[in-house]
Structure 1
Amino acid sequence: MKFTLNTLALTLAFAAPAQAQIASLDLADYRLVATYELPAVRASEASAITWNWDTDTLFVVGDEGEYVVEVNKQGQQIGSMTLSGFDDTEGLTYVGNGQFAIVEERVQDVSLFTYQAGGTVSRNTLPSVSVGPTVGNVGLEDLSYDPLTGRFVLVKEKVPQAVYDAALNFSNGSASVTELLPPANQSALIFGTQDLSGVQVLSTVQSLRGTADQDNFLVYSQETPRLMEVSRSGAILSSFDFSAIAGDAEGVTIDGNGIIYIVGETPRMYVLAPVPEPETALLMLTGLGLIGAAARRRRT
């Protein structure tokens, strides 16, 4: 069987995932390692994805507001929950203990619900918080829960673009919102991108807690399209050009091992992982060869 360095890199990227936790994040080290089709009926026009650290599975929502779908890391459906009364659902984040927060773009409301496979949840029965007034199709695109602070980071698509840090009180429906990166004007491009469509805090990755990356987050732009690691002051620390991969991707999450998952409207899921550079892979391949040769000598 013939193996290439790319094949080796893929193997190394997914081998022993429990030991593959990252100590720092640099998107320059990441490569597209897999693409998976999502269940077309339940995850149609996938707009958001989030990682559930309690089950180590992924949850996807489509922008038609019909289902929340649980999938494994190969995009295969595990279960789903029907949504009722929702419209234009664009963001989804896991908050722990089986609960999720979901955001509707135009009304800019965030609702809290408990996932139950095979069940149905009605919007008018859920605790909700308003983060802003009703706008056109340029409102809230995604949100991400920070387990260290109990707060949320949210992104507004455009006119103007915005990144918010918010404390959401679902008990009384109140919100305390701080604009992290105030735009200069309505047409200002915060990161030089045409829109903001996805966000993911990095504090959900246990191995990054206590490091310089702990307070940073990932931001995705569908229209540009680009994935960026940014600081809370707005500095772009690293980036990944997605333009040759997909033009309809918009949601992003990261799991406990630092593997990044991006979903698009197709619906499709793209997997990015840090892999060795060719020189490093060659050294590892050489090392594996020496180990194999030593084993053969012992057998003879």
Structure 2
Amino acid sequence: MPGRFSSLMRPRWWTLLLLLVAVILLAGYLHWDDRLRFWFKQQQSSPAEQQASIWLPGYRAVLQGKPVQGLEDDELSGLTYSAASNTLFSVTGKNPQLIELTLDGQVIRRIPLHGFSNPEGVEMLADGRLAVIDERKRTLTTFKLDALTRSLEFADLASFDLGFAKAGNKGFEGIAWDSRNERVLLGKERSPLGLFSLPFPGEDGAAGALQPLPTGHLFLRDISSLSYDARTGHALVLSDESRLLLEVDARGEPVSFISLSGGFNGLHRGIKQAEGVTMDAAGNIYIVGEPNLFYVLSKLPAVARPEND
């Protein structure tokens, strides 16, 4: 009888063992252990440290999963804020276009990007200039936009070769403008995953060479978008595979993070394949995720504690 009972239980134990191994491997793949350790460290941050940072745990979703109308045949990627127009810009890859949006996700205009192959990132630079990253061409292209611009031709624009000729579909996707140091910050998606800087591109391309930046332990599977906050000197790093938004300081060290899974920070459902992030002048965070869903996160005012507490 004991032998028969043991033979009946053995398949169950093997199943449980395999499930345990799968959970351990998945935890390592998603860096859950690193997230947990940093979460505990994050809880020890002082009010002064939080005040000096973007402090992502203080944000909540105020607009989530709003479909961006009129882009059913394409997908938004990358996101940037223009202070001059108080609007957002994104790009599409299948049918390359520059898309201008209102702050609540309404399409204002579309500008075809002729000669582009796979635009993945867009950023507002200094002096009213925009930059677009083409992942397949491995280029950063800069141009000025005005109210009369109806289309853009790649061959007519200043471009800079970003290198990594063998990167394929694992090249640069994230781009942000570091106004403090007048340079472009770039995020390479993976293989290797990393952050880089590039001096401000002039009319004839970039004035300097691409430089790797120091990074701490980012505990991310990939980098899909970047944004820079001049007030703190910190950057936001978006990862669609990790479903994570991470704040890093000037040394590339993690400062704070939030999960983009459902149930966290006011999100009813998780943000699937988050492809673009930016901040506006008021500190609101905007995210676009496939298939063309629009999100806004705002920082809640701090609640003062009663004096008797």
Shift of 1:231: 1.3
Shift of 1:264: 1.1
In structure 2, the partner of 1:220 is 238
Q: Distance in 1 between matches of 2:157 and 2:111?
A: 15
Shift of 1:67: 1.3
Q: Structure 2 residue aligned with 1:239, among 251, 254, 257?
A: 257
Structure 1: gaps of 5 or more residues: 1-21, 184-189, 284-300
Shift of 1:169: 3.4
- The 1:47–1:150 alpha-carbon spacing in structure 2 relative to 1, beyond 3 Å, is same
- The 1:199–1:43 alpha-carbon spacing in structure 2 relative to 1, beyond 3 Å, is farther
Q: Does 1:271 align with 2:288?
A: no
In structure 1, the partner of 2:40 is none
For the 8 Å contact 2:54–2:234, the answer to whether it is kept is no
Amino acid at match of 1:30: Y
Q: Does 1:194 align with 2:226?
A: no
Q: Does 1:81 align with 2:111?
A: yes
In structure 1, the partner of 2:18 is none
For the 8 Å contact 1:128–1:173, the answer to whether it is kept is yes
CA deviation string 1:186-214 (max 9, x = no partner): xxxx51111111111111xxxx2xxxx2x
| Matched residue SS, 2:251 | coil
| Matched residue SS, 2:210 | strand
Amino acid at match of 1:33: V
Amino acid at match of 1:250: E
Shift of 1:65: 5.0
Q: Does 1:178 align with 2:205?
A: no
Q: Calculate the aligned-residue CA RMSD, in Å.
A: 2.3
Q: Distance in 2 between matches of 1:52 and 1:109?
A: 22
Shift of 1:39: 2.9
Instruction: Give the paired residue count.
Output: 245
Q: Distance in 2 between matches of 1:49 and 1:127?
A: 21
In structure 2, the partner of 1:108 is 138
Q: Give the fraction of aligned pairs with identical amino acids, expressed as a percent.
A: 30
Of 83-92 and 105-114, the range deviating more from structure 2: 105-114
For the 8 Å contact 2:215–2:251, the answer to whether it is kept is no
- The 1:268–1:140 alpha-carbon spacing in structure 2 relative to 1, beyond 3 Å, is same
In structure 2, the partner of 1:64 is 94
For the 8 Å contact 2:117–2:134, the answer to whether it is kept is yes
Q: Distance in 1 between matches of 2:118 and 2:284?
A: 28
TM-score under structure 1 length normalisation: 0.75
For the 8 Å contact 2:215–2:252, the answer to whether it is kept is no
In structure 2, the partner of 1:49 is 79
Q: Structure 1 residue aligned with 2:283, among 258, 266, 272?
A: 258
CA deviation string 1:151-191 (max 9, x = no partner): 000000001101001114344434422211369xxxxxx51
Amino acid at match of 1:79: R
| Matched residue SS, 1:181 | coil
For the 8 Å contact 1:100–1:113, the answer to whether it is kept is yes
Q: Structure 2 residue aligned with 1:230, among 227, 248, 271?
A: 248
- The 1:94–1:65 alpha-carbon spacing in structure 2 relative to 1, beyond 3 Å, is farther
- The 1:65–1:115 alpha-carbon spacing in structure 2 relative to 1, beyond 3 Å, is farther
- The 1:151–1:65 alpha-carbon spacing in structure 2 relative to 1, beyond 3 Å, is farther
Q: Does 1:160 align with 2:202?
A: no
| Matched residue SS, 1:176 | coil
| Matched residue SS, 2:152 | strand
Amino acid at match of 2:211: T
Shift of 1:32: 0.9
| Matched residue SS, 1:159 | coil
Alignment of 1:15-54 (within 5 A): 24-35=53-64, 36-41=66-71, 44-54=74-84
